[in-house]
Amino acid sequence: MRKVIDLYGFNDFNPGQIKMDGYSGVIFKAGQGAWADVPRTHPEWWQQAKDFGLLRGWYWLCDSRYHSSAHIDEMNKFRIFEDVGELGLWIDVEKPVISMTEADYWKTQYAGHQNLVDFAYLITLQGITPGIYTGPGAYSLVARDAPKLTHDYLAQFPLWTAQYPYNYQEGISKPSLYGSWKTWTLWQWREGPDVNIFNGTDEEFDARFGVVTIPPTGEPSMYKGTVLVSKLNIRPAASTVQASIGKLEYDDKIEASVVEGGWWKLTKITRGTANIPLPSETCYAYEGSTKGYIRTDAVVEPPVDPTGYPEKLKLTLPNADGTWQAPQEYTKVA
């Protein structure tokens, strides 16, 4: 069963752990109203997710305190429409503040379904088909008194629904449908972390959203080692001045193409039986001044490159009496 996680800027983002926990992708909060979230606070997360082989998407809360055009202006400012990732762009339909009462919601300037419909329409003008993220209660609030035409219009977009089993005495085995939707695409069935499952087989998920391929570094592994501490920083260069872009865990098996000045230039990370994608094409980990962080397990001799020798070679060899033979041609033996 394919599952994805959704995060916003105040969450911790550990793409390696997310991958290890079995998630196929992550949907980041792009923003709400006239304020961008992850693209403003953590723009590096987008590339880091891809580097770890995670599918990516955005969600944007249709904040009823702002006109639909204000959302679009902010999204254009951060170039959201240029890359909505493999999981696409989703419109978040709920109150702009979770603690806001329904009475206070209806006091906001653009409460109701019309601003939502306008926002969805403006996104389609960007050449993008969005999805809708909401839940039975949130949708009932925003779309209150909406005509059937509105429900039908919104139901043309895929539904990502939030409905939690622990809110019900006996739990639920599948989410409820509402509005004019006949099916759902993603179901957020748990919070903290937000776990979302796909309505379909793994093959259907892959066919719909694709996969992220991680290019190999192209560098041979000359050194093998074992990590002896937890949360060892991975950095984009061999310097502690560089900010951490990932973490190695205790007992991770690592390989490197170069070890110089205590810095391992990583080419492979194995955690348990799983290979963990490198957080970037070039990354380093420091073994410590006395190798307290990484134990060297093996130094592998580089393979001889047979292409470095010519197919034929002319040699002039000496005779026993000190004279020289005529030049002779020798052919390389495989």
How is domain 3-209 classified at the CATH fold level?
Answer: TIM Barrel (3.20.20)
Instruction: Tell me the C-alpha distance between 13 and 106, whole Å.
Output: 34
Instruction: Tell me the C-alpha distance between 232 and 218, whole Å.
Output: 24
Residue 300's pLDDT band (cuts 50, 70, 90): confident
Q: Fill in the amino acid letter for 10.
A: F
pLDDT for res 280: 83
Cβ-based neighbour number of residue 259 at 10 Å: 17
Instruction: Tell me the C-alpha distance between 287 and 228, whole Å.
Output: 9
Give the start-to-end residue ranges of the domains of the chain: 3-209, 215-334
pLDDT digits (tens, 9 = 90+) for 202-254: 999 999 998 765 555 567 888 999 999 999 999 998 988 888 999 999 999 99
Instruction: Tell me the C-alpha distance between 10 and 40, whole Å.
Output: 12
On whether the CB atoms of residues 164 and 192 are closer than 8 A, the answer is no
- Mean of the pLDDT values across residues 288-295? 89
On whether the CB atoms of residues 223 and 255 are closer than 8 A, the answer is yes
Instruction: Tell if the pTM clears 0.85, that is, is over it.
Output: no
Residue 277's pLDDT band (cuts 50, 70, 90): confident
**Percent of all residues in the chain with a pLDDT value above 70, rounded to a whole number:** 86
Instruction: Tell me the C-alpha distance between 331 and 201, whole Å.
Output: 57
Q: Is the pLDDT score of 178 beyond 80? A: yes
pLDDT for res 317: 61
- Mean of the pLDDT values across residues 84-92? 97
pLDDT for res 286: 96
pLDDT for res 268: 93
pLDDT for res 95: 97
- Mean of the pLDDT values across residues 47-58? 91
pLDDT for res 168: 46
Instruction: Tell me the C-alpha distance between 249 and 252, whole Å.
Output: 6
Q: Is the pLDDT score of 191 beyond 90? A: no
pLDDT digits (tens, 9 = 90+) for 7-47: 999 999 998 889 888 899 999 999 999 999 999 999 999 99
pLDDT for res 215: 57
Q: Give the CA-trace dihedral at 23, 217, 230, 15, to 10 degrees.
A: -20
**Cis link prior to 277 (omega < 30° from 0)?**
no
Q: Is the pLDDT score of 173 beyond 90? A: no
Name the least confident of 32-36, 100-104, 109-113, 295-299.
Answer: 295-299
pLDDT for res 281: 83
Beta-carbon contacts of 107 under 8 Å, excluding residues fewer than 6 positions away, are none
How is domain 215-334 classified at the CATH fold level?
Answer: SH3 type barrels. (2.30.30)
- Mean of the pLDDT values across residues 137-148? 97
pLDDT for res 210: 81
What does each C-alpha distance from 39 to 61, 96, 320 come to in angstroms? 14, 19, 78
pLDDT digits (tens, 9 = 90+) for 148-166: 999 999 999 999 999 987 5
Query: According to the 3-state scheme, what is the secondary structure of the chain?
Result: CCEEEEECCCCCCCHHHHHHCCCCEEEEEEEECCEECHHHHCCHHHHHHHHCCCEEEEEEECCCCCCHHHHHHHHHHCCHHHCCCCCEEEEECCCCCCCCCHHHHCCCCCCCHHHHHHHHHHHHCCCCCCEEEECHHHHHHHCCCCCHHHHHHHCCCCEEEECCHHHCCCCCCCCCCCCCCCCCCEEEEECCCCEEEECCCHHHHHHHHCCCCCCCCCCCCCEEEEECCCCEEEECCCCCCCCCCEEECCCCEEEEEEEECCEEEEEEEEECCEEECCCCCCCEEECCCCCCCEEEEEECCCCCCHHHCCCEEEECCECCCCCECCCEEEECCC
Length of the chain as a residue count: 334
